[in-house]
Amino acid sequence: MSQLKPYENHRDISSPNRNIAPITTEINENNQLVVGGCVISDLAKRYGTPLYILDEATIRASCKAYKSSLEKYYKGDSLPIYASKANSSLVISSIISSEGLGLDAVSEGELITALKGGLKGENIVLHGNNKSKHELQLAYNNKVKIIIDNYHDIEILKSIVPSEGTAAEVMLRFTPGIECHTHEYIRTGHLDSKFGFDPEELEKVLIDLKNYSFVRLIGLHAHIGSQIFELQPHIDLVGVMVEALKLARKLGHPVSDLNIGGGLGIKYINSDDPPSIENWIKVISEALNSSCSENNISLPRLMCEPGRSLVATSGITIYEIGSRKDIPGVRTYLSVDGGMSDNPRPITYQSEYSACLLDKPFSKTEEKVTIAGKHCESGDVLLKDFALPKSKSGDFLGVFGTGAYNFSMSSNYNRIPRPAAVIVSNGHAEIIQRRELSEDLLRYDLLPDRFITND
């Protein structure tokens, strides 16, 4: 675990994923943490805790880094697409739209959030290994590009698209034979994955799609993992996808889009060293430029799907410290008013984070503590054996890098309401998601008459 050190090295403003804290992070004259011009402990008092905070400037800087890097290094057209599973909301959709990015959705909920947030259907792609007829109908009606994941998708589209209607624009997802783990990767002929067509199926499905008038194959898609720090796997991915592109065009498909997925990692703790957004894009762009030139084929539109690297660093989750338990010679527990229901990643993936006391961000560390959540699970631990200044009940703790896969994976375990979320910019804070109340959790409960007594 890592105490916050935002000024330990020169902060990379142009690539927020290489920083632990949001790019607007400052320490004021009262030794308080400030983000987006707002004193964060003041927001905790105003809006309550737990509280999600997003820094607008960090999200926009990440969007601009992807856009400008593609324009700088790739010789063809391009479109970065936000993987909204990382954090889906109307406000984030609006920011993504205003910055000129597209968006990928994997459900009706993410799709309607994107559309109502301002995204045009033609700049949205729909993923999913088990899309419903309703989801596919919604996508088709809104001119959303559909990622074909299996023959089930094809059969449903056949029943949706009118015989004299416009063909659905689709992209074909296949497993590329490259599996990436955080610090190593392997290449195999088959991957054990629920997503996409097996490489050996590729030619057959391409031939089949050529005979279907209700779909028009305009792109190919592949994805190799998440929180990746290595660049070589993506170079290998480009090579595999160019071969697939050649085959698709040889079979007569007007494939114009090549979507390489996402996966670029972020800096959660001081020892993490992810590539910059610019370097990631540079390596992929140069590999595709070169491969297409060598194979004498026209450049496709290059698409990528960053999620975590767009929004994670913008996020901080604020907790209030409550009880303390000292076990001599073993461990000291500090419990906070949230935990696995607002951040399930530590208990699920053993994920590590950086944190600080909001009003003592640079104070000398005096003890090692384990930050425990309030849920009825022994494994509900956010930070284990973590160095902090001496703290007391009522102090506020900020956990960094929580803009991705925290709110989107949150739950009501133990019937605990989800936190509110605010966005900060230029000294202003605005609510973007209301705090759930305990009574909200009863909205969908029903009590049949036979259970009602007159007592």
CA–CA separation, 253 and 217 (whole Å): 6
Closest CA to 182 of 260, 254, 279, 266: 266
Q: What is the DSSP letter of 197?
A: B
CB 432 within 8 A of CB 421: yes
376 as an active site residue: the answer is yes
Q: What is the DSSP string of 139-189?
A: HHHTT-EEEE-SHHHHHHHHHHS-TTSPPEEEEEEB--SEEEETTEEEE-S
Closest CA to 122 of 214, 253, 245, 256: 256
Give CA 64 to chain center in angstroms.
17
Name the H helices within 216-272: 232-250
Instruction: Give bridge partners of residue 78 from the DSSP assignment.
Output: 302
Task: Look up tokens 């607002």; give the residue.
Answer: 342
Sign of CA dihedral 30, 36, 37, 43: negative
Closest CA to 153 of 175, 176, 174, 129: 129
Task: Look up tokens 């290998």; give the residue.
Answer: 236
Closest CA to 401 of 328, 324, 313: 313
Structure tokens at 99: 């910055």
CA–CA separation, 124 and 359 (whole Å): 42
CB 86 within 8 A of CB 313: no
The one-letter code for the residue type at 329 is: G
CB 22 within 8 A of CB 316: yes
Active-site option among 180, 292, 356, 376: 376
First to last CA, the chain: 54
Q: Which residues contact 316 (CB under 8 A, 6 or more apart)?
A: 21, 22, 35, 40, 52, 53, 55, 398, 399, 400, 402
Residue 235, sorted as left (phi over 0), alpha (psi -120 to 50) or beta, turns out to be alpha
Q: Which residues are catalytic?
A: 376
